[in-house]
DNA sequence: TAGAAATTGGGGGTTTTTCCTGTGTTGAAT
DNA sequence: ATTCAACACAGGAAAAACCCCCAATTTCTA
């Protein structure tokens, strides 16, 4: 490593990406890759054993073992001096916001042009943050007031019921696992049916799927 | 491009990956990247305008406009001499099989080690095909005789019922639109519940979703 | 601190779903 | 000609889902 060079660590379980990314970054003037890790746990260990710390960590979100959210949170707590740049395919507003709340200094989408990566690394070192255009737009959107997009929020119990109702359990069984009376469960059901304008449990499942409330 | 060098075209909408992948492949002895495309449509155009054809096309599956399946099918029909190597994150058996049916000569998972990519390219040129270990295992599994994994086929009426049952209609309504007696519909229901080992209509919806019988 | 709102759940009813068993008809195979 | 399998459908009944109205308690809030 040359002097005055900024160092990067890549945390991604897609070896093909991280491997070729390393070549790319090493070709950038002023940046070099220290090492890789394929998940958060591995990163924790390597941070301990390697003497020199990276300036920037390029962090993927979807990883086995210890995902990007957990890892970012841990890094913010334990290594606040290291700048975390999230690198992900998802431009889902909720994911982006969550990642930034965990302390990421920037969020890059994997569909950016390679040249952009250099700009991103430079900006993070210079100004302390960087975001893809799409991400910036998403962020802007997230702070806009939402006029007609009727806000559908769920209380914790309601959400739990809704998710359980998307399984093969009967309402009686749901009442049991939630330690509530079947009548209360029936109350949740009626309330949700009315609010979401649905006719039966099938409608509930469809709604939950369309709104990412459950995973199949 | 040097003589005797094999040429590669990358089709992927993740510019970051395709950009750094290019660097990687160009560093391989005997391989060089001709150009990129970020979807099937773009590839079609570039194949027309560029005079020299690639030996191999590295093809992502998830793309906007014209996805990997469509593109692979088109390539097989129109450029059978070009070897298509699918490159994807999904190790879902159905996806792999579908891609190979469309004519792909190989299937690489994005979590393979960069060194593997060179082997894959080499193998495709030498032997005509290459698969990741995981993919090979999946393929092997898929051709094993399925003893207990009973083949689930649906008769036309059964399938229609199943799909309608995934809406908010009552069985009575389904019977009406299918011009059958509610009792017949009930017969379909019982038969399906038994065959698919499900307990109620929610189970039916989940099953239909998992098996791509309906779209949300 | 009174009143409103949210939370929980009971009473009691109808409709739909779920389940089991049985019957007549048809068309193909023996 | 008989047997067999499939299909469409019926009767009957229990369980679950669905629906409306009401009440006690807590919690928020004006």
Measure the CA–CA gap between B110 and A13, rounded to whole angstroms: 9
Per-chain mean pLDDT for chain B:
86
Tell me the per-residue pLDDT of A181-198, one tens digit each, with 9 for 90 and over: 999 999 999 999 999 999
pLDDT (0 to 100) of residue A141: 56
Measure the CA–CA gap between A33 and A10, rounded to whole angstroms: 8
Nearest partner of A206 among B134, B51, B85, B209, judged by Cα? B209
Tell me the per-residue pLDDT of A30-59, one tens digit each, with 9 for 90 and over: 999 999 999 999 999 999 999 899 999 999
* Together in a domain, B183 and B127: no
Measure the CA–CA gap between B79 and B46, rounded to whole angstroms: 13
pLDDT (0 to 100) of residue A191: 93
Asked if residue A103 has pLDDT above 90, the reply is no
Tell me the per-residue pLDDT of B95-128, one tens digit each, with 9 for 90 and over: 887 888 788 888 888 888 888 899 889 988 987 7
Check: CB of residue B61 under 8 Å from CB of residue B68.
Answer: yes
Structural domain includes residue A149 = no
Structural domain includes residue B56 = yes
pLDDT (0 to 100) of residue B103: 83
Structure-model confidence comparison of residues B138 and A68, the more confident one: A68
Tell me the per-residue pLDDT of B201-211, one tens digit each, with 9 for 90 and over: 999 999 999 88
Asked if residue B4 has pLDDT above 70, the reply is yes
Contacts of A114 in chain B (CB under 8 A): 15-16, 19-20
Q: Which residue range is the domain that position A38 belongs to? A: 6-143
Check: CB of residue A6 under 8 Å from CB of residue A29.
Answer: no
Q: What is the CA A184 to C1' D14 distance in angstroms?
A: 23
Handedness of CA B27, B73, B64, A203 (dihedral sign): negative
Mutate to test the interface with B, among A31, A39, A111 (most CBs of B within 10 A): A111
Last residue of a domain, one of B120, B143, B166: B143
The domain total for chain A is: 2
Q: Which residues 102-121 in chain B show a CB within 8 A of chain A?
A: 108, 110-114, 116-117
Residue identified by tokens 């070729």 is A20
Check: CB of residue B14 under 8 Å from CB of residue B7.
Answer: no
Domain CATH number, residue B75: 3.40.50.2300
**In the 8-state DSSP scheme, what is residue A191?**
H
Q: What is the DSSP string of A76-131?
A: HHH-TTSEEEEEES---HHHHHHHHHTT-SEEEETTS-HHHHHHHHHHHHHHS-EE
* Together in a domain, B100 and B204: no
Domain CATH number, residue B190: 1.10.10.10
Measure the CA–CA gap between A176 and B74, rounded to whole angstroms: 54
pLDDT (0 to 100) of residue B3: 62
β strands within B111-157, DSSP E:
130-131
**A137 to chain B nearest CA, in Å?**
19
Structural domain includes residue A151 = no
Tell me the per-residue pLDDT of A122-177, one tens digit each, with 9 for 90 and over: 988 987 778 776 776 666 555 444 333 345 578 989 999 999 999 999 999 999 99
Contacts of B27 in chain A (CB under 8 A): 23
Q: Any bridge partners for residue B7, and if so which?
A: B32
Structural domain includes residue B81 = yes
pLDDT (0 to 100) of residue A130: 80
pLDDT cut 90: percent of chain A above it:
50
* Together in a domain, A40 and A117: yes
* Together in a domain, A41 and A115: yes
Last residue of a domain, one of A100, A115, A143: A143
* Together in a domain, B68 and B161: no
Q: Name the pLDDT band for B148 (thresholds 50, 70, 90).
A: very low
């Amino acid at each position: 490593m040359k002097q005055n060079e900024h160092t990067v660590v890549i945390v991604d379980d897609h070896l093909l990406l991280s491997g070729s990314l390393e070549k790319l970054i090493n070709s950038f003037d002023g940046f070099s890759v220290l090492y890789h890790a394929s998940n958060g746990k591995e990163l924790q260990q390597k941070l301990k054993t390697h003497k020199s710390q990276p300036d920037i960590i390029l962090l993927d979100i979807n990883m086995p073992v210890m995902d990007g959210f957990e890892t970012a949170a841990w890094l913010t707590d334990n290594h606040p001096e290291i700048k975390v740049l999230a690198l992900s395919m998802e431009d889902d507003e909720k994911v982006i916001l969550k990642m930034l709340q965990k302390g990421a200094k920037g969020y890059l989408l994997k569909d950016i042009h390679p040249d952009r990566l250099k700009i991103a690394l430079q900006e993070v070192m210079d100004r302390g943050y960087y975001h893809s255009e799409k991400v910036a737009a998403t962020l802007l959107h997230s702070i806009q007031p939402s006029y007609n997009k009727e806000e559908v929020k769920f209380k914790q119990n309601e959400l739990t019921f809704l998710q359980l109702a998307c399984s093969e359990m009967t309402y009686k069984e749901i009442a049991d696992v939630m330690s509530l009376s079947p009548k209360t469960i029936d109350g949740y059901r009626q309330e949700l049916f009315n609010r979401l304008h649905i006719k039966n449990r099938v409608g509930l499942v469809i709604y939950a799927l369309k709104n990412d409330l459950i995973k199949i």
